[in-house]
Chains A and B, each alone.
Chain A
Amino acid sequence: MTTKQPKDKSNFILPDLGEGIHEAELVRWKVSPGDLVQEHQTLAEMETDKALVEVPSPWAGRVKELHGQPGQIITVGSVLVSYEIADAGSGQPPEPATALETADAGTVVGSVKEGLRVSDRFKRGEGGEQTAVVPAKALATPAVRRIARELGIDINLVPGTGRGNRVTAGDIYAFSGRSPTTTAVGEPQPETAPATADGAARSIPFRGIRRKIAEALDHSIKTAVHFTVTDEADVTRLDQKRKEYAAVLGRKLSFLPFVMTAVCRALKEHPMVNANVDDAKQEILIREVINLGCAVDTEHGLMVPVIFGADKYSIVGLDDAVADLAERCRNRTIGREELMGGTFSISNVGSFGGMFATPIINYPEVAILAVGRVKEQVLVSEGKFYAGKVMPLSLSCDHRVVDGAKGTRFLTSVVQHLEQPETLVESPA
């Protein structure tokens, strides 16, 4: 930075002696009060944090006062040396001093002499604004120039209607009177390729819920150490129970509330699976309550509403709660707080046809169960074949919290509860 010095040359302000220097230590003075100094004559030696430098006088004059003692830190911008102000009568500053006196603003145009011609380019118009110049050479992109060339049109004659008077393809066609669908030689242009042609891609930016999903899953998979264990439950008897129940109630009833109940019971037996991790604090939080997340597919993407205290619900109560939450997810009236705070999640992939899965944990939970499609299969019991219903189950756990044995035991417990529907439908104790 250049430093502005007082026009009357009364004081020399300490400038930035390097680049970005804020202060300098005065090492020693090279002049004394009363001395007549020349322009560029060294006034003092100063030390910045980068260099030991000699500070020269910016003009000629008589030193009046030195500001500062050797060893003192002087801030850039403060007065270093005061000069006698030369007036017509007393002082007779040496010749070079006049060089700067003519540098007053306002008279500059007149004082610029040989070697420097005032450039028209740098002249400012009224109010300091540039005047618009219409270029002789048309502004246009190479593609547009090519169209003009192919039509045999001098592009410089075409009035431009684009931004900044650029000549557009439309301007060329308008000027030529031709339609853009025929080429210069009159060949028909090929039909525009349909947007859905092979190889065409539709780009969808990560926005809104999709981005939230992406971020949440990305964080989960990069944080939790996933492993998945699978098993099958013989739900032949559960299926019968479910149908009986539905007939008694006079409503449809899916497997899901039964699975949720079985999970609640198993979680009580294996509290380590009903937990959250706090990576910031490096803690595992074993949760007292059971808040079941339930994956819901919506047109906007996956949402996981939470049934708080799920173990306190009856089968029907759970079925109602799931239906209500799913409906409010789909119409986007679900509250933000209802999408958080889960301790375990269930993903009912079977409703879409899948069997096994490797579900991604709904972080900071530590486990998730994917429920596959229930299929009729030939089963074996005590050496005899029978036709039964089988429910595939896939459990993913965060291995940092839940070891393989623990996770498998938990899954086995879920299977056992599902295979004993009589106890499952009993109200919680």
Chain B
Amino acid sequence: MPAKIVFHAKIESVSILDEQGNFDAKLGKDVIPDTDVVRLYEHMTICRQFDEVAFKLQRSGRMGTYPENRGQEAVSLGAVYALHPDDWLVPCYRENCGLFWRGLPMEYILLHWMGDERGNEIPRDLYMTPQAIPIGTQMLHAVGLAWAGKYRKKDSIACAFFGDGATSEGDCHEALNFAANLDLPVVFVCQNNGWAISVPTKMQCSAPTLAQRGLAYGMECVQCDGNDIFAMAKVVGEAAERARRDHRPTFIEALTYRLGDHTTADDARRYRDEAELKKWLKRDPLIRIRTYLQQRKLFDDSREKALQARAREEVAAAVKRAEEIAAPTSSDMFDWLYAEMPGELATQRATLRTSGLGQDPSQLQEQSPAPSRNP
């Protein structure tokens, strides 16, 4: 008896606005209205300025470390644009653009990388978790948030962002299996920028796409051009609808590229081919939207000039606000760890204050303001 074929698979790759400026009018119909395209472009430009300034803050010793977001802005921005304001965002560290679009003040990200944990205390009405630095852990958090939402019969869903490297982690596979098996409303957005620090995607996955990892767990999966904000908004919008309507998760592989180094402690020139970088510089998501707007006469050079000035001002103001916040005191690491401080910690706290390692107790009298919580 001939073997029956019990499973057929196909992975679609979605692209709406390509790097030559060709726009698929049918696929892109009503995805983003033109007025919003302008706003998204302006926002992305400000984020690009933020990224460049943040990088320089690190180089001049004003910030501890920083992972550049440059080149990957469209992934998180398109996704967050397509989501509801109370859908959970569960990011790692290359989603600044989407987080700022949701409403996170820029100084939170700056504070975080300046080593001030208060930058991680996200206002509750923004529905986002702090940036996950360990790889892939946040995917399980997203599953938990979606599960809780479903249990409480809420309409909200969870959207997890992670890199290509995270798909090699056990946490990723646990998250995917739970989400699919328990019918949870999760949108998994994999930012495949081709490199897990210095390890190319080919070296950690033998499958032709990362998208098909979702297939193995029985969920919808799709690949898309991550530098195409229309494609991002469309696939995430559809995934979000599937999550809300059917409580089914989706795995989205967004093809993108980080134009900078992994972090300020890295030098990508040591392992990446310059020709590859040049190829992707042409695919910059910012250039692509600008081309789209130019073609439709929705933006011009004078507006561009004003926008650049505004970006510089807004980012400088955010840096100013972040640097004006008094540094945390050495006692803070004890004070905010437990609801009730265990005895040993109280002893350590007291020892640190009197040992000369920590700050002088008189210094602690000064009040340090922090970024706001809920009013």
- Mask, B60-80, CB within 8 Å of A = 1, is 111111000000000000000
Residue in A closest to B332 when the chains form the complex, CB atoms: A122
Residue in B closest to A43 when the chains form the complex, CB atoms: B60
Q: How far is the CB of B226 from chain A (nearest CB, A)?
A: 26
Residue from A3, A5, A18, A96 within 8 A of B264 (CB atoms):
A18
Chain B count of residues within 8 A CB distance of the other chain: 46
A residues with CB within 8 A of B:
1-3, 5, 12-21, 40, 50-58, 96, 99-100, 102-103, 105-106, 108-109, 111-113, 115-124, 127-128, 130, 164
Q: How far is the CB of A197 from chain B (nearest CB, A)?
A: 36
Cα–Cα, bound, A20→B65 (Å) = 10
Q: Is B320 an interface residue (CB 8 A)?
A: yes
Can you offer 8 A-B residue contacts whose CB atoms are under 8 A? Answer: A2-B63, A15-B61, A20-B265, A51-B266, A51-B270, A100-B320, A121-B370, A128-B361
Q: For window 296-351 of chain B, which residues contact chain A by CB distance below 8 Å?
A: 316, 319-321, 323-326, 329, 331, 335, 340
A residues in contact with B264, CB < 8 Å: 17-19
Cα–Cα, bound, A69→B211 (Å) = 52
B319 x A99 contact (CB < 8 A): yes
Cα–Cα, bound, A403→B266 (Å) = 62
B372 x A116 contact (CB < 8 A): yes
Q: Is B202 an interface residue (CB 8 A)?
A: no
Known: A17-B59, A128-B331. A118 touches B372 (CB 8 A): yes
A residues in contact with B320, CB < 8 Å: 99-100, 103
A112 x B321 contact (CB < 8 A): yes
Top-9 shortest CB links A-B: A15-B61, A51-B267, A3-B61, A122-B370, A117-B372, A58-B60, A18-B265, A128-B364, A19-B265
B residues with CB within 8 A of A:
53, 56, 59-65, 105, 107, 114-115, 118, 261, 263-267, 269-270, 316, 319-321, 323-326, 329, 331, 335, 340, 361, 364-373, 375
A13 x B61 contact (CB < 8 A): yes
Other 18 A-B pairs with CB < 8 A, given A112-B321, A119-B372, A130-B335: A3-B62, A15-B60, A40-B56, A51-B265, A53-B267, A56-B56, A58-B61, A109-B369, A115-B107, A115-B321, A116-B371, A118-B370, A121-B373, A124-B367, A124-B368, A128-B331, A128-B364, A164-B340
B321 x A12 contact (CB < 8 A): no
Known: A112-B321, A128-B364. A2 touches B370 (CB 8 A): no
Q: How far is the CB of A238 from chain B (nearest CB, A)?
A: 66
Residue in A closest to B340 when the chains form the complex, CB atoms: A164
A103 x B118 contact (CB < 8 A): no
